[in-house]
Structures are given as structure tokens and as C-alpha cells.
Amino acid sequence: MWRHLGVVARTGSNVNFSRMRGFSALVQDKALVDGAWVDSSNSKATFEVRNPANGAVIGKVPNMTVEDAQKAINAAKQAYESKEWRSLTAKDRSNLLKKWHKLIEEHSQEIAEIMTAESGKPINESKGEVAYGNAFVEWFAEEARRVYGEIVPSALPNREIIVMKQPIGVAALITPWNFPMAMITRKAGAALAAGCTVVVKPSEDTPLTALAVAKLAVDAGIPKGVINVVTTNKAAPIGDLFCKSPDVRGISFTGSTEVGKLLFRNSADGIKRICLELGGNAPFIVFDSANIEKAVDGAMASKFRNCGQTCVSANRFFVQDGVYDKFVEQLKKRVQALKIGDGQGCDVQIGPLINEMQFKKVSGFVEDARSKKANIILGGKPLTDQGELFYAPTIVTDVPPSAQLYSEEVFGPVVSIIRFRDEEEAVKKANDTRRGLAGYFYSENLQQVFRVAKRLEVGMVGVNEGIISAAEAPFGGVKESGVGREGSKHGIDDYVDIKYICMGNLKYD
């Protein structure tokens, strides 16, 4: 499809690629294994990285094989067992993470530009992600020193019960394209803080951000083999290796529910530690008691960040009868005013969808709703004049339960609105899904706030707030949205084993 893009013809793929390399020494064309920048062992095979805004090739990275991934696991294992890593104190590891944090901060503009070029994310949002992603490095640098154990009073004399937390060993981290940096630092920061070593498999759509951030980890002095990055556009066999390898003790995955389930199943034999952050189907409820201006602000932030491509994006808007017309009218005005374009433009708010598959999914869902008699009151069409992957910000009302927009995550700039009568109906409909990641509601009624916050079957609730992620807060879902929590003090739990040491026959007298 890319060949048909006018912009490619104008820009020329090589020109754009050289520009990327020119403006940032952080753009890598090799993967990172055992501290070395390496090619694929399969005849140095590569795959192209493209800018979704215009289809231009902006980089090439090694298309690595299962053998390469095995080398990365070996390197991580060796590093885990090496004196250079094992002998470090928690404070030493904390200091290394702090150095990494500082370098990321110093290079934040470059990283943001790389991120926008390969993901299409508007540049202001990319800058926001770099700050958010780096907050995890800082947070886990601090938490590294607080992986406390316990001494528990024993029921028997002359005995002490000591509980300590130890790193699990090598962790494999598989990350998506929608947060090309933050999903890596949220996992790797916690893993390194705990004393683990990692093999990162970034998304094939956004490997350049991953490599850039890894380069800064090397520059920060993180020992060789502690962070390895394997790039590939054939994830399945490498994912399988992670699941089967006895040397990989834990897997942390952020991505689709389908792949998460596969990894869960495949890692059962090895009884792996597994952390899954999968898709959501977030309800966004606006009650009659809501402050409508705030609700519209929250709706815009939650829905249109990263063109609707976040797993905590509001997916179904339930709006109560009494405020329905006002909310829809105000929201429509705001959506009409969104500035669409190549994310490199500093005032752009909506960029392209990430790839053709996403584009087909979003347009397919809207067509499905149209065929089921939903009302498309805004958008509902591709924006071909912008580029092949641009889709108009869309509002669909009267979405019936049979529509895909109602039951599945659209992952695009589409607002689906459903009217409701009372609180009971809203909560019931909100919970009528197998997913349970985030949920949002707007209400100024204190009693209602507590009632609804408790009843929503999700891992995270935004009350009168549309953006809730923070390094200090536990991120994760219930039901089929995943297991485990990332960020916060709980984010380290997936990377440590609890060991009980029974000290017996102590002579105290």
C-alpha cells in the first residue's frame, strides 16, 4: 500500500532515513545483545520501519531469529549470574537507574521525535510519553532500595522466621507500539530494580524508540547483558521460545488479549511468573449529576490521546438522559475542532492510525455499526487527503449491543455513545463485558461516587478524571484484561520471589 502514497514519492525513503540518522545519534540499525550492537544471524536480514503518517521508510533494524533470541537469553542469564550484576547493592542498582533516567531526560526531545516518526503520535504526546516513561525509571530507581523483607515472630522458641525477596532471574518483556517507550521502562525499570536481567522484544512497528532508550541504558553504565533488545517482525516463534525456555523465569507482556492468552497458555508448563496487561473496553459514564464541562474535557483526553489507541481509552460512553443532549452537543464541537495531521506538526492533536490492520479494524467497526442502524453524527470516514492511515474523529450514537463498537475495543478515534436512564442500568451495562481494565465516571454526588467506584469491575477507576496513569499508581486489569500490576510499589512483585528462611536451634540464653 505504501508505494501509492504521494508523500513517499515526494520525501523519498532514503532521504527521510538519512535525516533520522542525522538528527539523532540515538537511531540504531542494530539490535542489542550482550552489550554489543548486532545484526540478525539470518544473513543480516532486516525489516523496515515506516512513518505511518506518510509511509516513508525511516529506519531498518535486524530481523532476528529464534537463535538470536536464544543468544539474548543466554546473555541475560550470564549477566544475571555475573559478579558485575549480582554483587551490586540495591543502592548501586538505584544509582544506575538514576543515571539512565538523567540521560533519558537529556535526550527527551530526540526520543520524542523518533517516537513520533515511527508511531505517528503527535509530538506533544510523544514528549509527554517520554516524561511518563522516564517517571518509571525514576520511580523504580527509588523503589530499588525498598524491596523489604520481614522478620516474623515464631510460635516456636529458638527460632526466627526470615522472609526475603530475591530477583526471579531473567525476564522477557514483550511490548506494544502504542507506548513505544513507557511500556519498556515500566517493565525494565521494575525488573532491574529487583535485580533481574531482561530480554526486550519491542513491537515491530516501533523498534527505534526501544533501541534508542536501550542505547542510553548502555551509556548509563548498565552492565552488558542486563538489558538485551531483540528486534523482529516474526514475534510468534520468539514468544514461544520465551515461554519454553527454562532460563526465562518470567514474562511480562502488554498487548492484545489474544496474544496474552497464548503466552499464558504456553508458559503454563514452565510455571512462569507472568504479568499480562491486555485490552480493555473502558466504560465512561456521565451521570446527570456530572459537571458537563469537566466530563467533556475528560472524554476528549481519554478518547483521543494517541488517536484512541490506548488500552485505557474510553470505549463506550454511557450518558444519562438528563444531560445527554448537552454532553453530545458540547463533545461534538470539541471533536470538530481537533487538528489532524502528521504528528510532527506542533499543534497536531490527531495523527494516523499505526498500520493497515488497525485502519481496517476501525473502519470495519464503524461500518458494522452503520449497518446495525447506529447514528454516525460526525466523521465515519477515512481521511485520504491526509494519508492512507488517517481516519476522521467520529461520533456514533445509539450504538446497539450487537455492534462491535459496543462489545470490542475499537482502538481508534471513535466515540460510541449509549443513553441510559438510571445508575443501576449504567453499572450493569458498564460491567457487561469480559474485559476490566479502566473505567471512568463523572458525578458530583459523593454517595454515588463511592457506590459506583466500588461496583465497577475494572482494575482502575477515574472519578471525574479522564487520564489516570501515573508511575506511583498500580496499573492493571481484572477479568480478561490481565494479571499483575505495573508501576507503583506493586510493580516489583512480578520480578521477585519470596524466600522463607527458617533459622532454627538458636541459642538465646
Q: Catalogue the active-site residues.
A: 277, 311
Q: Nearer to ligand ADP by C-beta: 297 or 486?
A: 486
List of E strands, 279-374: 282-286, 314-320
Asked if 427 contacts 455 with a C-beta cutoff of 8 angstroms, the reply is yes
Q: Nearer to ligand ADP by C-beta: 28 or 203?
A: 203
Query: For residue 379, what are the contacts with CB-CB under 8 A and spacing of at least 6?
Result: 335, 391, 392, 393, 394, 395, 413, 414
Q: Nearer to ligand ADP by C-beta: 126 or 254?
A: 254
* Site string (96-115) toward ligand ADP, x via CB under 6 A: --------------------
Binding to ligand ADP, residues 258-287 (CB under 6 A): 259, 262
Q: Nearer to ligand ADP by C-beta: 78 or 266?
A: 266
Pull the grid cell for residue 119: 508511531
Q: Is 256 in the site for ligand ADP (CB under 6 A)?
A: yes
Cell 552492565 belongs to residue: 223
Pull the grid cell for residue 461: 477507576
Q: Is 174 in the site for ligand ADP (CB under 6 A)?
A: yes
How far apart are the C-alpha atoms of 49 and 55, rounded to whole Å? 9
The SS3 call for residue 158 is coil
Three-class SS string for 53-111? Answer: CCCCEEEEEECCCHHHHHHHHHHHHHHHHCHHHHCCCHHHHHHHHHHHHHHHHHCHHHH
For the CB of residue 474, give the shortest distance to ligand ADP in the complex, in Å: 21
For the CB of residue 273, give the shortest distance to ligand ADP in the complex, in Å: 16
Q: Is 7 in the site for ligand ADP (CB under 6 A)?
A: no
How far apart are the C-alpha atoms of 306 and 286, rounded to whole Å? 22
Strand partners, 161: 152, 502
Asked if 217 contacts 227 with a C-beta cutoff of 8 angstroms, the reply is yes
Binding to ligand ADP, residues 183-242 (CB under 6 A): 201, 203-204, 235-236, 239
* Number of residues near ligand ADP (by CB under 6 A): 13
Q: Nearer to ligand ADP by C-beta: 69 or 496?
A: 69
For the CB of residue 409, give the shortest distance to ligand ADP in the complex, in Å: 10
Determine the interface stretch with ligand ADP among 57-65, 109-117, 256-264, 372-380 (rule: CB under 6 A): 256-264
Q: Nearer to ligand ADP by C-beta: 8 or 278?
A: 278
For the CB of residue 441, give the shortest distance to ligand ADP in the complex, in Å: 26
Q: Is 477 in the site for ligand ADP (CB under 6 A)?
A: no
Residues forming the site for ligand ADP (CB under 6 A):
174-176, 201, 203-204, 235-236, 239, 255-256, 259, 262
